[in-house]
Amino acid sequence: MASKGKRAGSRRARRRPPTTAPILVGLAAGVTLLVVAWGYLVYAAVDFGSSARGGDSRSWWFLALASAGAVACLFAGLMLIARLLRALGVTSTPEPAPAAAPTDEPPTVTIPRPPGGRRAAR
């Protein structure tokens, strides 16, 4: 026989199926694409460097361009990793530093006392 009254039935709600937030998928895809682009640009920079040392003067410009692109991709990838970790809840936002109260007085400088007191100073 089922119980009757206002508290009858299960007290737990049904579990929701786990959902993946679209922002997490976008951040993970962005990190993946940037890391792959970084790897390709590093490989290209090594290749341009070897051909530049072989005597091709235009390869120095391509080497510089590939190196700058690799640095930019790595930086952007690390920034997206930080945003991904914050979205997952692994890290949190830093607490703001308390603002110092503005005063019109100049700051006072205290000179540290020598250890040992007056007798040790003699």
At residue 95, the pLDDT reads: 84
CA–CA dist 30, 15 (Å, integer): 31
pTM for the model stands at 0.61
At residue 10, the pLDDT reads: 64
Residue 21 has pLDDT above 60, yes or no: yes
Residue 6 has phi, psi (to 5 degrees) of -80, -15
